[in-house]
Amino acid sequence: MKILVTGGTGYIGSHTVVELLTEGHEVTILDNLSNSDERVVDRIEAITKVRPGFVNGDIRDKETLDRIFTDTAYDAVIHFAGLKAVGESVQKPLMYYENNIAGTLNLLKSMGENGCKNIIFSSSATVYGTPAFVPITEECPKGTCTNPYGWTKSMIEQIMTDLYISDNEWNVVLLRYFNPIGAHESGTIGENPNGIPNNLMPYVTQVAVGRLKELGVFGNDYNTHDGTGVRDYIHVVDLAIGHVKALSKLQAGSGLSIYNLGTGQGYSVLDIVKNFEEATGVKIPYVIKPRRPGDIDECYADPSKAEKELGWKAERGIREMCADSWRWQKNNPNGYDD
């Protein structure tokens, strides 16, 4: 299939492009490089021996989108482009609503006008808010998000649902990711956050590589087995493969569908520290800090719907996730500048 991947030089996008090219799809990336690096395209080519198309452009620019869709008849779009820093979204809500929502509206309009009505969207477990129950199934009600970033995901899901209701020619797959970590086994592409990382695994790897002194563990009085927050960490390559499987669903004319992409297994912050140390032999010093506002006790998926309907199941375990995150960080202590 001919696939347009928005946000394809980013963390999850780049891994997905690798899996798409490996499966023989034709891929064009559209990315404005606001949170990624064009050198990712070279690395993807080095891994797959195929160079994806690349357009340096913005989803908020309707002319660029129209040109892309008139130049090539894409079979589907995988839509990763968006801003994702939770804290920044609280400081700059309009920037988030503008980029994520206005950008997505533009994309959907251009797709519809040009006859491409198949889309896979990067949603998040954040739409469940404080989950009504765990493990979380897709039937779990959506909740109150604690930040504008989360609301953009929740609202875009609604926009795509309403679009499908208005016109059944659309095929929409909403993928709710749990916590992606890890990196391609080559150690040549991976997560490359700007500034001090907000998320656990990049913080851990930057402590391991000596860029940061120690990990702050946000709270040890949660209602979990050791008091630290529990999440469903999923290897980014498993997540990427989930998108390839979802494409077959789109191709079959699936209408609107929603899937959790997680492993079904929860690990606490201290479980991650322990597994990282065991997988890599590198010690992670840590201190207990107060809870981070907005965090919840535990969040993990029931991924059985994706297994049943997409034939997809996460295969990579927590040690492999830690080892692969570390290989990427160790080989590229300063990200793509190395």
Question: To 5 degrees, how large is the angle CA 150–CA 154–CA 157?
Answer: 140
231 binds, among ligand UFG, ligand NAD, none (CB under 5 to 8 A by kind): ligand UFG
Q: Which of 295, 308, 319, 334 binds ligand UFG (CB under 6 A)?
A: 295
256 SS3 class: strand
* End-to-end Cα separation, the chain, in angstroms: 34
Asked whether position 52 contacts ligand NAD by CB under 6 A, the answer is no
Per DSSP, 99 falls in state: I
Q: Does 216 bind ligand UFG (CB under 6 A)?
A: yes
Reduce the DSSP state of residue 57 to 3 states and report it.
coil
Stretch near ligand UFG under the rule CB under 6 A, chosen from 104-112, 198-206, 242-250, 324-332: 198-206
200 binds ligand UFG (CB under 6 A): yes
Q: For helices 269-280 and 200-208, what crossing angle results, to 10°?
A: 40
Residue 216 forms beta bridges with which residues?
Answer: 287
Site map 169..198 versus ligand NAD, x via CB under 6 A: --------x-xx------------------
Residue span 66-105 as binding mask against ligand NAD, x where in contact by CB under 6 A, dash where not: --------------xxxxx--------------x---x--
Q: Identify whether the C-beta of residue 254 lies closer than 8 Å to the C-beta of residue 309.
A: no
Residue least distant from ligand NAD (Cβ): 10
In the bound state with ligand UFG, the residue whose beta carbon lies nearer, of 2 and 305, is 305
3-state secondary structure of 179: strand
Check binding of 269 to ligand UFG (CB under 6 A).
yes
For residue 133, the minimal CB distance to ligand UFG (Å) is 16
Spatial distance between the Cα atoms of 283 and 276, rounded to a whole number of angstroms: 8
Of 28, 35, 106, 147, the residue at the interface with ligand NAD (CB under 6 A) is: 35
- The residue annotated as part of the active site, out of 11, 96, 149, 222, is 149
* 149 catalytic residue (yes or no): yes
Residue from 15, 25, 117, 231 touching ligand UFG (CB under 6 A): that is 231
**Cα diameter, the chain:** 56
Q: Is the dihedral of CA 29, 30, 33, 38 positive or negative?
A: positive
225 interface partner picked from ligand UFG, ligand NAD, none, CB below 5 to 8 A per type: none
Report if residue 207 touches ligand NAD, rule: CB under 6 A: no
Cβ distance to ligand NAD smaller for residue 34 or 251: 34
- Does position 148 interact with ligand NAD (CB under 6 A)? The reply is no
State the Cα–Cα distance between residues 58 and 28, nearest whole angstrom: 14
Distance of alpha carbon 306 from alpha carbon 258, whole angstroms = 9
Contact 35, 13 (CB under 8 A): no
Q: How far apart are CA 335 and CA 331, in angstroms?
A: 9
Please write down the HEC assignment for all residues of 94-110: HHHHHHHHHHHHHHHHH
Per CB under 6 A, the segment of 56-64, 109-117, 174-182, 242-250 that binds ligand UFG is: 174-182
List contacts with ligand NAD (CB under 6 A): 6-7, 9-13, 31-36, 58-60, 80-84, 99, 103, 122, 124, 177, 179-180
Q: Which residues are catalytic?
A: 149
